Amino acid sequence: MQFSSLRPHIKPTLLLAYPVVLSQLGHVLVNVCDSVMVGQTGKIPLAAVSLGVSVNTVVMVLGLGLSMGITPLVAAADGKRDVRRLGELLVHGVWLSAVAGLVLAGVGFLIAPLLHHLHQPAEVVALAAPWVRVLFVSLLPLMVFQGFKQFAEGLGLTRQAMFLSIMANVINALLCYALIFGHFGAPRLGLMGSAWATLTARILMALFMGLYVLRAARLRPYREAAGHWLHPEAAVLRRLIGLGAPIGVQMMFEMGAFSFSAIMIGWLGATSLAAHQIAINVASVTYMAASGIAAAATIRVGNLRGLGDLSGARNAGFTSYTLTFLFMSTMALVLIAGRNRIPYFYNHDPQVVAYASNLLLIAALFQVSDGLQVVGLGALRGLEDVKVPSVVALLAYWAVALPLGYALGFLLHLGATGVWIGLLTGLSLVAGVLLWRFRQHSAVHVRQEALLAR
């Protein structure tokens, strides 16, 4: 692969990626804000956030993945200038996301009473259970936001979600500060204040994203072609579910592995769990930045495929790979340099800080693997290749990473460090297999394009 073939794709990819990066960061910065502020109240509340986020995230990513099936279909239809198809995808994408959000919110009320079965410290479970119920309710507005957002991003309109994510984070931070500590005349709610702040911010995100898509003049042709909003067609919903469900399952396998790792670390006590929350929180920031580049890869690859430029689609994918490798390598160096200082932003307990510093060193090592696997997923989604990555994620995380992490952490007594080494191994396996998959799959498309051109 020559650099000259990638160069034309660098600027378009970056222009698409940077708003998506900031928008994706918006999701994780809500948790960062919660963790930093709650961490100031003690290691037990911070450990409760870790447990609650671990449980909530497994369910949340299933919904997020389901909505991500909208984007490659929209990008391909936009490449073909199929206005009628885009209208269908608008209606059905929002429908599917809203119903999924309602179901996922209900799941939270079934899961919260079961937290004590995870054998976590009793004082941690007592704080986490009510917190996680409110967080699950916030999945309904989050999924409505996703339905409108994924449609707009499929058209290359990425800045709107970026601005809304920034706005939501500012609101969330102010509300957290007010409700956790009782400032500005607000009640002092402690840990629960962060949950109510997150719910409020997500409601506003859904409201404003919906208003943009339903009122913007540039989107009027798609709204007019949408037909009746109250009568979705089963065939279109099946197509969206057929593409989105494997993405959601793959994400659930991946995040489920991280969440179960947190549960295993919780068996070691509140100190280890609090340290894990710091390290995973920091790592998730860089991951979401790479995830933004991956979303740009989905849009670019899907759009060029829709235009019939399969060689361009392949080059766009490899451009995203290159940008991600450079970015995540830089972030690895940043984590290595700052691993002894970063934990103090969250908590000042000497044991928590020491454990977190060690985990951040491993997080630095898996930055590149983490970035390459997520951009591989994004590029393959642009080719509508979503089922094989789900199988890869299942095997790598649940057949390799978790058993290895358990063996190192508990049988060889490496503790949380051993569990994280298992995660590093799983991420590296997924990254390697998906890179091979994209290279082979995109090459097949290019060969088919060449045969048709003869």
pLDDT at res. 27: 62
- Non-local (6+) Cβ contacts of 57 within 8 A are 255, 258, 259
The per-residue pLDDT for 391 is: 85
> Which of 382, 400, 401, 381 is CA-nearest to residue 390?
381
**Euclidean distance between CA atoms 19 and 281, whole angstroms:** 21
* Torsion sign, CA atoms 137, 141, 143, 146: negative
pTM for the full model? 0.71
Print pLDDT tens along the chain (454 aa). Answer: 556 677 778 888 888 777 777 776 666 666 677 677 777 777 788 778 778 877 888 788 888 888 888 888 888 888 888 888 888 888 888 889 999 999 999 888 788 788 877 778 888 888 888 888 998 999 999 999 999 998 988 888 877 777 887 888 788 889 988 998 888 888 888 888 888 998 999 999 899 999 999 998 888 888 887 767 767 778 878 888 888 888 888 778 877 888 888 889 988 888 888 888 888 888 888 887 788 888 888 888 888 887 878 888 888 889 999 999 999 999 999 999 999 999 998 888 889 889 999 999 998 988 889 899 989 988 998 888 878 887 888 888 889 999 999 999 999 999 999 999 999 999 899 999 999 999 988 887 667 666 665 5
The number of beta carbons lying within 10 Å of the beta carbon of residue 79 is 17
CB 439 within 8 A of CB 379: no
The three-state (H, E, C) secondary structure of the chain, written as one string: CCHHHHHHHHHHHHHHHHHHHHHHHHHHHHHHHHHHHHHCCCHHHHHHHHHHHHHHHHHHHHHHHHHHCHHHHHHHHHHCCCHHHHHHHHHHHHHHHHHHHHHHHHHHHHHHHHHHHHCCCHHHHHHHHHHHHHHHHCHHHHHHHHHHHHHHHHCCCCHHHHHHHHHHHHHHHHHHHHHHHCCCCCCCCCHHHHHHHHHHHHHHHHHHHHHHHHHCHHHHHHHHCCCCCCCCCHHHHHHHHHHHHHHHHHHHHHHHHHHHHHHHHHCCCHHHHHHHHHHHHHHHHHHHHHHHHHHHHHHHHHHHHHHCCHHHHHHHHHHHHHHHHHHHHHHHHHHHHHCCCHHHHCCCCHHHHHHHHHHHHHHHHCHHHHHHHHHHHHHHHHCCCCHHHHHHHHHHHHHHHHHHHHHHHHHCCCCHHHHHHHHHHHHHHHHHHHHHHHHHHHHHHHHHHHHHHC
Q: 21 with 293: CB under 8 angstroms? A: yes
pLDDT confidence of residue 284: 80
pLDDT of residue 326: 93
Q: Which residues, other chains included, contact 132 with Cβ-Cβ below 8 Å and sequence gap of 6+? A: 51, 52, 55, 56, 108, 111, 112, 115
Q: What is the pLDDT of residue 334?
A: 92
Residue 41, both tokens = 């109240």
CA distance 89 to 366: 36
Rounded CA-CA distance 46/279 in Å is 12
Q: What is the pLDDT of residue 450?
A: 62
pLDDT, residue 28, reads 67
Tell me if 175 sits within 8 A of 33, measured CB to CB. no
Q: What is the pLDDT of residue 406?
A: 94
- Angle at the Cα of 350 (from 349 to 355), degrees rounded to 5? 100
**For residue 329, what pLDDT is reported?**
93
Burial 200-231 (b: 16+ CB within 10 A, else e): bbbbbbbebbbebbeeeeebeebbebbeeeee
